[in-house]
Structure 1
Amino acid sequence: MMKITLRIDGKDKEFTQSFIPFSLKKEALKQEIEMNQEGADPIENLDMKMDFLVRAFGNQFTREELENGMNTIGSDDVFYETVGVNVLGFMPLKELKKQQYEQQKLGKLMLEKEARKNKKK
């Protein structure tokens, strides 16, 4: 289930969505390809993301309510979790960050091991 909280008329309002038509997955994939092309316009990308999010939540809120009611702090995470994870099946952000941390930690350990090995020579 997807959730988003928007501030509308000065009050936080939570919206949920438990069904996303499969047709939106295809649209999301097309947008992902388009947004990652060299020279893609970041403003157009943001517009596409917002329009998609409104449709993914079944038009429970308007584009204007999304623009004015979503906190910009953490908004990239909201887009990633709702569209990337729930629609496209990407790894949840929490798991992704944990995996990145573990890879960095492993890389650091390997560098330290290599440095000790070279020091012994």
Structure 2
Amino acid sequence: MSTPLKMELLINGKKQTFTESFIPAGRILDALDLIETDNSDRKLRDVFEERVAFLSKVFTNPLVTTEAIWNGFNAIGFEDHIFELICKVANVNPKKLQMATTPE
């Protein structure tokens, strides 16, 4: 059995952990699209909004909304953290992915 996906958000001043133990396999394709998209010509804001919207759909708890994610994540490390969550959905190791895309 695979490890559930967990996301911790600060909601109303309290840390809450949200867990998904089942994510439909079709979400892998959506996650791969987010990972593999060349974002060099896109605004970073648009990239982040797309990733946050994806995560709000992955978690089925009604408390996990785009607004809750934006307000509940720490800005420090935000990009890395949401990228790691998306990679987990796609079954991709983000460290291996970064090594593969790093120019020599």
TM-score clears 0.5: yes
Residue in structure 2 matched with residue 68 of structure 1 by the alignment: 71
Alignment TM-score, normalising by the size of structure 1: 0.67
Alignment TM-score, normalising by the size of structure 2: 0.76
Give the whole-Å Cα distance in 2 for the aligned partners of 1:37 and 1:80.
Answer: 13
Give the whole-Å Cα distance in 2 for the aligned partners of 1:66 and 1:13.
Answer: 11
Gaps of 5+ in 2: 100-104
- Could you list the runs of 4 or more consecutive aligned residues of structure 1 that deviate by over 6 angstroms after TM superposition? none
More helix by share: 1
CA RMSD for the aligned pairs? 1.9
Letter in 2 for 1:91: N
Gaps of 5+ in 1: 101-121
Structure label with greater radius of gyration: 1
**Residue correspondences, number:** 93
Structure 1 residues 35-114: aligned runs within 5 Å: 36-60=38-62, 61-84=64-87, 86-91=88-93, 93=95
Structure 1 residues 2-41: aligned runs within 5 Å: 2-34=5-37, 36-41=38-43
Letter in 1 for 2:93: M
Give the whole-Å Cα distance in 2 for the aligned partners of 1:90 and 1:32.
Answer: 9
- After TM superposition, give the deviation of residue 92 of structure 1 in Å: 5.3
Letter in 2 for 1:4: M
